[in-house]
Structure 1
Amino acid sequence: MVAAPQWVILDGDPGLDDAVAWLLAFASPELDILGVTAVHGNVPLPLALRNAGVILALAGERAEGVPYFAGADRPLLRGAITATRMHGDSGLPAEELPDPVRPPEPGHAVDFILRTVRARPGEVTLVCSGPLTNVALAFRLAPDLPALVREVVWMGGSTAQGNRTPAAEFNALADPHAAQIVLGSGARVRMVGLNVTMQCVATPPRVERLRALGSRAGQVCAELLTFYAEAYRRNYGLNGGALHDPLAVAAAIRPELLGWQDLRVDVETQEGLNLGRTVCDLYGVTGQAPNVSVAVTVDDEAFFELLLGRLAALP
């Protein structure tokens, strides 16, 4: 018997690797995408919202009828930061992108999350590829909501190093207070952080395999990841861009591609060198109960084959 698709809301800040991730999600029959919610992050919210519409257009009939919404345009307590040096000024540095086929829906992303989760208690997964501001606002407005969410799968944080600062990964640093609210909410949370995503690199041969798909989606992904590769060579010395957000979507589709460890994780919210750091209690030294299932290993080859195979189904 084939399992029914899991209901999902995609929440993110597209951003070029969000685009690849969301195309993977729309191409995967395991997921039934109920809606897309944009948040500040890689680019300011107006650009992230437009990019959401562009990605839906790229997904073609797979995204037909899927609504998208504007969410939070800033962190809960701090000023907004962006990652345009990694994603380009537009967030989607590719040629001949389609225009959105329809405008965003009226209303706020947080209201959409609230009513969608409440309509399907225990059955909706939030796959988050940006700062967690929208989810934190929803959890604060409705304290019962963490218990009603099936799970939160978040690309963010790390068991070790940062990328925006030596201590902090970008999505965690972009709203550390929101990340702490969500991780400490009691919801089931899975964290896919830099410690695994930096092992999944879109090398030139992999980019050429995407281009060779011969589809618009494959061509756009190849263009985006070519731009990303230059930024990664310049900043991190890697031979290609890391597939951060696609790995989080893959974790929702095939969690067995990763190894998981239940850990106590807290987010540093005090100003200073460690702001935004996800403090993972790897050895249980605090004696506190685990609150997050953290990805600690990944089958990189199997992950990329999944990505390539699924994107081949898109126009």
Structure 2
Amino acid sequence: MKLNNNVTEFILVGLTQDPIKKKIVFVTFLLLYLGTLLGNFLIITTIKTSRALGSPMYFFLFHLSLSDTFLSTSIAPRVIADALLKKTTISFSECMIQVFSSHFFGCLEIFILILMAVDRYVAICKPLHYMTIMSHRVCGGLMALAWVGACVHSSTQIFLTLSLPFCGPNVIDHYFCDLQPLLKLACADTYVTNLLLVSNSGAICTVSFVVLMVSYVVILHHLRNHSAEGRRKALSTCISHIIVVILFFGPCIFIYTRPATTFPMDKMIAVFYTIGAPFLNPLIYTLRNAEVKNAMRMLWRKKLISDDKR
């Protein structure tokens, strides 16, 4: 596709232009990003090495941690580096790659959260058929569909963005390349394009959130028939999922379900789902999940034993 634009690079305004605040942004984002990498690496390593975490729920959690890592990596390193610079620019190609990658891994996370809700529904509402319905083959197929679906979504977003001409203003009032700020810079009427983009991203966010909330209402309703111990364990898992869903979907729905308008608070709200959620997810899933914590302890003991033998 021929890029219909005269702009070769964009200037990112960032979160702030104040030198002191930029240092605070640098330290904060660096710590959050390192925490995200460490937490998700621990979950990925633990699930891969632990036989006790072989159920479908942890298969999906493994992919959620991968998605969190890539989502954060598509945005955080650039923000950290830009906080040290006076003038921050990003090439047109890099900007489009960032739009694609952030939407790809953001959409993938949405689909994985839906699959995790399906897994909990089958485990709680149809326990006798759980291993039959959620077999390794089925889980692998569902995850493949999630990756393909995320690719279709992000490809649609980037196709619509590249169809717009960028011929003049190149200052993006954001800390990363996102669709709404980019639409404001286009040298054409973006009403139809914005409608398509919002109906794409907004529909995915809103419909997925409603589906997830309904599924958890059904799950909580079925928990009434379980024993006290089974109810406590299932509630612990479901509550973790619900917290993650609210933290991720709340900001996404606010950003992507409205017309092409931007607000000063958009940048701070975007921090929640681009940086905050990937950082908090490992904490939520490990602090509230006894099986993951036990598996991590066993992994740590094996590491200490192997080090002692050396």
Is the pair's TM-score, using the shorter chain for normalization, greater than 0.5? no
Structure of greater relative contact order (alpha carbons < 8 Å, 6+ residues apart): 2
Higher alpha-carbon Rg: 2
Bigger strand fraction:
1
